[in-house]
Structure 1
């Protein structure tokens, strides 16, 4: 019985999905090119030069008035990334603004797990 349990466990490991990440870059007016990394379990990371980093958990999924589905990612600093799921159009709203800015976006690509450096925010101005 123990051997059967081990075999079943090993088989389950083969069919279990791996935690993977993907990333793409966006270029929006008012900030250097930003990299958006997404993990399968809902964590999004936004990075831009030099040493700026924000996180978000999950996405709000809604629809525009014309019915197009959009995904809104709200980062901890108040920035918002809006993606039209029908056509891939990408927009950004900075935390201190309510202006919707169109952005250019690269294709999404799979990446290896991301290692993050320790960041001491006491030595840097707020982002």
Structure 2
């Protein structure tokens, strides 16, 4: 939607997506996709690059977009987490899941969490 277009573009700029995740840009093991491509194209479907055409969602097909850069997996763990980890007020809590959000009126004041696996944290994290 147009109201989030600018924010969406910032995410795409920070986390690049590609349909060719290898360093050389070559797609390996194409036989399966070639069979599907021929059948779908014969049925009137259109081959597209979903990164270049994110709104092409009707009777389209294409290679899966991956969050890779220079042949290495990227995504939020390689971008946002690195930035967050450099902040003095950031703490990564592992093996923990959110139980509920604590609100005061229309404002969130904390998050109640509980262990998900061994070593998880239980308590309230104030915001």
Bin for the TM-score computed over the shorter chain: under 0.3
- Greater C-alpha radius of gyration: 2
Question: More strand per residue: 1 or 2?
Answer: 1
- With normalisation by structure 1, the TM-score equals 0.28
Greater helix percent: which structure?
2
TM-score with structure 2 setting the length: 0.28
Larger relative contact order (C-alpha < 8 A, sep ≥ 6)? Answer: 1
